[in-house]
Structure 1
Amino acid sequence: MPMKKNISRLARFLCTSLLIITTVTQFKSLAATLPDAIRSGGPSRPHQTKIAVVVSQRSYADKAFTLDNEKGETVFTGKLKAANTSEPWAYAASADFSSFKSVGRYRIHVDKLKSEPWVIDAKANSELVIALLGIFLANRDGKENSSLHKPAHLHDATVKGGRYDNKKFDFTGGWMDAGDQIHFTDTTAYAAIILQIAAKLDPVNADALNNEADVGIRWLLKAHPRPDLFIGQIGDMSDHALGFRDPATDDQSKLPGIGHRLAYPSVLSGMMGKTAAALAFAAERNSGKARRKLLTQAKQWYEQGKANHSDQQLPGHFYDNLTWHDDMSIAAVMLWRLTGKTQYQQDAYRYLDDIDHTLSVASVGVLTAANLCGALNHDATKNIKIQKFACDYLHTAAQEAISTATIDNAPWGTPGHMYWGQSGFNGSHGAIIAFAKRANLIKDASVASRARDWLLGLNPWGASFVVGYGLNSPATPHHWASVFGNNLPKGAVVGGAAAMTEMKKTNFSKKELLDSDRAVYSPKIESYANSEPSLVYSANSILLITSLNTLKN
């Protein structure tokens, strides 16, 4: 799934960095200065997995733990189980009380250690879904009603390059991409896809999710104003050179590329596929003239992507085109759903079969597989060969994600690799596990619930990675909203942890007490690899939370 590619910004999901694992001796020497603690998660639904983690300088394995209610009464007792990794502490152990299902607020106790409250609520996470829309509300642009700024970038934009060079078109609206104010067709389309899938999984919040997706859809319809013109990016490195500011001030700027921004054409097949899919999902939930318009545009983006497999880069090289088959596959499967034409289904299968399966967890193709396998509120394809292939693909991806959580990241349980943008991986990989469970491909989807807990504080730092939500949430994210004060934009998901090998790409070198080479996290504004939010991180986290709706573990 997509990420920004720039050595000083965000990395794409398909990066393949090596993780450095330092020796146990090194970790134990550091552990002498670390305080013992209990990290808790939630909020959880009664039936979902609930596993806290005790980290310490001495072993607590096999010791008893208790779960106490707000009156101080013990309502559950259990035994701690040793974890197979503990860095940067000397020891770690897990406290599993998943079988306890009574609604309320509880603390885990081990000797003199006490956790933060763990909330069990039958309606847990519905509020969180709405909160996670925060960056979308803030990053709305043009005359779309932003929660933080007045109308902005109303001069967008003048085309740069190609047949329409220096021509002016209306490209206002949509979302700004991340902590910057640039627009990318790639991430706009991706976010719109994910929000619409999430709406299918969450009937309670479906209207809010689809309404927000429509902000992106309206802009995508503008991004193709002529039969031979497709826009990939609005704005460029001029935005970064200027730094953080109120977006509404840009229109008065006399600086090149700021007051009057440039629009860059692109025919990257990955972008074409994502946009076609986003428009096709929107067509599915519309009717009449609106449906016909959306479907027509979806076909045009798809056919252009099918005809042109360009790897030409956009200014700044923010997004690559290392793969495009997966993006075209999700477009093809949705066009098949809408038109009934078997050629589209065959295209989806062919594109999916072309993807390097060793990267399946990080691929949009997993959404295609989940769709064909019947895990996304669509019926499974009746083509037995394609159905089996898709279900096998989804099963393999889920097993990869579970393996990451149970081996690489024990005892924390996050299925996301410690690459740049770990919060995005955590969300997408957790959702993959949930989809596999929905399709009855796996028996245990508990790692999906643990991915939510990692996001909200069940991690070495005891920190929420959601701005303004949960304990120890990031107060100074790397985002232009910092000009309006701290704790903004509320609900935005930041990049989260990353391996030291990733952090060194940003000239970061100083680890704090709770960091290890395996996982480093700093909420400071200057630590942009950790603290910058993005549409993708938030979209994937929303997908994770909504995918948990029907799980029983």
Structure 2
Amino acid sequence: MHDNRSISRRRGLGRGRAWSLFERVAPLAALLLVSACTAGTTAPAANGFVRVDQVGYGTTETKHAYLMNAGGASPFRVVDESGRTVLDGTAGASTGAWNSGFPSVRVLDISAVRTPGGYRILAEGAEPSPLFRIDSSATLFAPQVAANVRFFQAQRDGSGVLASTVDRKPAHLNDARATVYEVPRYDEEGTELQDERLVRAGGPVDVAGGWFDAGDFLKFTHTTAYSLGSLLMAQRDSRAAGAELAAETRHGLAWLDKMWNAEAGTLLAQVGIGAGNENVRSDHDVWRLPEADEAPGADPALARRPVFRAAGPGASISPNLAGKVAAAFALAAQTSTGADARHALDEAARVYELADREPDTLTTAYPPSFYPEASWQDDMEFAATELAMAGKALGDPRAGRWARDAGRWAAAYLTSDALGTLGVGDVSALAHADLVGLIDAGSLVGDVTRDRLTGDLARQLEDGLARAAKDPFGAGADQLEFDSVPHTFGLATTALLHRRTTGQDTYTAFGTHQRNWALGANAWGMSFVIGSGAVSPRCPEHQAANLTGKELTGAVVNGPNKAEAFAELNRFPTMRPCLVGGFERFDGRGARFVDDVGAWQSVEPAIDFTATALLTFALACRC
């Protein structure tokens, strides 16, 4: 349920829930702030606030927190859970003003604390920090991976839902016999459907199952393939979450296999429609539980959801989409055995061969404004690299050709004008890191060297560093654009991949700091992963969570956005009101964060957001 975003999608349905503010133990200061805002009273004025990574810091990591106040080099101390002081220090020089109320932001270096345990930071004239932990990476981050997996479980559609997650019930069973329609036509802005009615093109097809994309009930091949690829990389390269992660990748893979009809050579792109008109009812027109769509008396337009193709039978497929899908299948081949591995490799190879090598436009979703995308050579590099790795493991004679293809696609990406950083719209970091492994293993890779690949990983991180140098909290992503939190996790993942491929710690501290920012070391003192830390979103725009009143554990939300983006929030008669106020005090530099069930601009979760964070935690876990 996102909405059009300036650099990535989302329409905006919404989710959120109104549950007790005291369900989770939180620091007294945070509770006072939330309680007072919710009750409409005035919280005690605070002169300063300490912002920390609320999940915690690895024992040997560089550990930075922030003090935001009116100014002055304040002394601080770190105390353990018994109140014993373990470190005394003085706040560093100001990194800049955040807003008129907090003209000074200062770094608190607590790197010297290495003993595992729970701690708080007490700074003169400031509220105590939330409790945070210092511990091994496995102890800190394996539970985070498990929490992220729980969100994917909550996003399940079809008959295989898990009732233990936000009281889910089977939904959209009619997707097992869905009708395919011609690709819908939209206006230039991608907000208004131009067709008076949808035109039937085929079917029935079985597209039951899969994951909801976000807070709504749409299902996209584009975001599913990216998310599945990220989860499979985590499964391959980390033991974090184990069996539950493996079960979830099987669930996602089973649906992707349905969206690809190998016999017909047809890739389906989408189930459901999110932007309609007065004649075409869309998913975003109603706020309800997913099982309501097929309940007696349900709207026929919601009970029988349309399906749209990425391309016709045997026709060329947009290379960004084909690349993501092929990479996901090839990663499944790497994490499977026997006939399952061979089947996944064959699926990957067929999709890869149908990719359009000279595209005029790129296909992501309908309308394209939900997920605008500019690059595609990175997706083809990703596909060819994973095919080569799977082919080599399975003794497939095509492995050498795929490796050479990967090198050529990498070279094409590096000379393109669409260089980005890791996220659903740019997977070059994932592709580069695995392609370096092929080079190190002696495989032929065509027109690229390991130095060029690792150099581009560094380029992505340098872009983040340049932005962080201008931000008082060292944020490497743009907080005035959509997807600031997932792009932050993308930078954190890229730093881990750079370290893995080079053995150098050049960007390790920067990557750690990006994770810290996303988990609470930011102006709002907010962990943008629901349930992780003392203060996280309580009113996400997510229909099932809002209407059941359950916590959406492990979901990653968009985060702060430009203030102008919040001119209109989503409101539905059936929506349960949910708002945690008080965060406007911490808005600054044109950025705003709103914890309101209607604020899709900042608190809508998504599977691609969460998949990127999961990969960060899995690689950081080292378990």
Q: TM-score, normalized by length of structure 1?
A: 0.87
- Mean Cα displacement is larger for which, 422-431 or 79-88? 79-88
Q: Distance in 1 between matches of 2:2 and 2:401?
A: 33
- Pairing 1:159–2:159 present: no
Q: Distance in 2 between matches of 1:465 and 1:103?
A: 24
Task: Rate the CA distance shift 1:203–1:192 in 2: closer, same or farther, 3 A.
Answer: same
Which residue of the partner structure matches residue 342 of structure 2?
A: 292
Q: Distance in 2 between matches of 1:110 and 1:321?
A: 45
Residue of structure 2 aligned with 1:234, choices 271, 274, 280 = 271
Q: Distance in 1 between matches of 2:504 and 2:417?
A: 18
Q: Distance in 2 between matches of 1:523 and 1:11?
A: 21
Deviation per CA, 1:116-157: give whole Å up to 9, x if none. 222112211211111122321111011222323211111112
Matches within 5 A, 1:67-216: 67-88=78-99, 89-113=102-126, 114-122=128-136, 123-146=139-162, 147=165, 148-156=167-175, 157-161=178-182, 165-216=201-252
Matches within 5 A, 1:388-427: 388-405=451-468, 407-410=469-472, 412-418=473-479, 419-427=481-489
- Pairing 1:489–2:552 present: yes
Amino acid at match of 2:266: L
- Pairing 1:545–2:617 present: yes
- Pairing 1:333–2:385 present: yes
Which residue of the partner structure matches residue 59 of structure 1?
A: 72
Displacement after TM superposition at 1:550 (Å): 4.3
In the alignment, is the contact (CA less than 8 A) between 1:373 and 1:380 conserved in 2?
A: no
Displacement after TM superposition at 1:76 (Å): 1.3
| Helix, strand or coil at the partner of 2:57 | coil
- Mean Cα displacement is larger for which, 275-284 or 515-524? 515-524
Displacement after TM superposition at 1:260 (Å): 0.9
Displacement after TM superposition at 1:498 (Å): 1.7
Which residue of the partner structure matches residue 350 of structure 1?
A: 408
Residue of structure 2 aligned with 1:243, choices 278, 281, 286 = 286
In the alignment, is the contact (CA less than 8 A) between 1:420 and 1:495 conserved in 2?
A: yes
Which residue of the partner structure matches residue 25 of structure 1?
A: none
Amino acid at match of 2:290: P
Residue of structure 2 aligned with 1:360, choices 420, 424, 434 = 420
Q: Distance in 2 between matches of 1:549 and 1:241?
A: 38
Amino acid at match of 2:405: D
Deviating 4+ runs (over 6 angstroms): 505-508
- Pairing 1:223–2:223 present: no
Q: Distance in 2 between matches of 1:519 and 1:173?
A: 37
Displacement after TM superposition at 1:511 (Å): 8.8
Which residue of the partner structure matches residue 302 of structure 2?
A: 258
Higher relative contact order (CA 8 A, sep 6+): 2
| Helix, strand or coil at the partner of 2:595 | coil
Task: Rate the CA distance shift 1:400–1:321 in 2: closer, same or farther, 3 A.
Answer: closer
- Pairing 1:473–2:484 present: no
- Mean Cα displacement is larger for which, 40-49 or 169-178? 40-49
Displacement after TM superposition at 1:432 (Å): 0.4
Alpha-carbon RMSD across the aligned residues, in angstroms, is 2.9
In the alignment, is the contact (CA less than 8 A) between 2:433 and 2:498 conserved in 1?
A: yes
Which residue of the partner structure matches residue 456 of structure 1?
A: 519
- Mean Cα displacement is larger for which, 527-536 or 130-139? 130-139
In the alignment, is the contact (CA less than 8 A) between 1:181 and 1:239 conserved in 2?
A: no
Amino acid at match of 1:387: R
| 5+ residue gaps, structure 1 | 14-32
- Pairing 1:39–2:39 present: no
Task: Rate the CA distance shift 1:268–1:444 in 2: closer, same or farther, 3 A.
Answer: closer
Deviation per CA, 1:444-492: give whole Å up to 9, x if none. 4112222222222111111121223322221111111244344532221
Task: Rate the CA distance shift 1:36–1:321 in 2: closer, same or farther, 3 A.
Answer: closer
Displacement after TM superposition at 1:343 (Å): 2.4
- Pairing 1:373–2:436 present: yes
Displacement after TM superposition at 1:92 (Å): 1.1
Amino acid at match of 2:606: S
Q: Distance in 2 between matches of 1:350 and 1:385?
A: 7
In the alignment, is the contact (CA less than 8 A) between 2:143 and 2:241 conserved in 1?
A: no
Q: Distance in 2 between matches of 1:358 and 1:386?
A: 20
Amino acid at match of 1:230: L
Between the two proteins, what is the percent identity of the paired residues?
25
Displacement after TM superposition at 1:515 (Å): 0.5
Task: Rate the CA distance shift 1:196–1:176 in 2: closer, same or farther, 3 A.
Answer: same
| Helix, strand or coil at the partner of 1:359 | coil
Residue of structure 2 aligned with 1:500, choices 552, 563, 569 = 563
Amino acid at match of 1:539: A
- Mean Cα displacement is larger for which, 317-326 or 171-180? 317-326
Which residue of the partner structure matches residue 196 of structure 2?
A: none
Displacement after TM superposition at 1:354 (Å): 2.4
Deviation per CA, 1:92-123: give whole Å up to 9, x if none. 11111112200111121222432222211221
Displacement after TM superposition at 1:338 (Å): 2.1
In the alignment, is the contact (CA less than 8 A) between 2:78 and 2:87 conserved in 1?
A: yes
- Mean Cα displacement is larger for which, 319-328 or 350-359? 350-359
- Mean Cα displacement is larger for which, 116-125 or 351-360? 351-360
Q: Distance in 2 between matches of 1:431 and 1:382?
A: 26
| 5+ residue gaps, structure 2 | 10-44, 184-198, 275-280, 311-316, 393-398, 572-581
- Mean Cα displacement is larger for which, 210-219 or 251-260? 251-260
| Helix, strand or coil at the partner of 2:215 | coil
| Helix, strand or coil at the partner of 1:463 | coil
Q: Distance in 2 between matches of 1:499 and 1:230?
A: 36
Displacement after TM superposition at 1:504 (Å): 5.8
- Say how many residue pairs are matched: 523
Which residue of the partner structure matches residue 430 of structure 1?
A: 492
In the alignment, is the contact (CA less than 8 A) between 1:375 and 1:435 conserved in 2?
A: no
- Mean Cα displacement is larger for which, 277-286 or 83-92? 83-92
Amino acid at match of 1:37: F
Task: Rate the CA distance shift 1:241–1:547 in 2: closer, same or farther, 3 A.
Answer: closer
Q: Distance in 1 between matches of 2:76 and 2:298?
A: 64
Displacement after TM superposition at 1:365 (Å): 1.1
| Helix, strand or coil at the partner of 1:344 | helix
- Mean Cα displacement is larger for which, 421-430 or 33-42? 33-42
| Helix, strand or coil at the partner of 2:202 | coil
Displacement after TM superposition at 1:282 (Å): 0.3
Task: Rate the CA distance shift 1:47–1:93 in 2: closer, same or farther, 3 A.
Answer: same
Q: Distance in 2 between matches of 1:246 and 1:516?
A: 36
Q: Distance in 2 between matches of 1:390 and 1:202?
A: 23
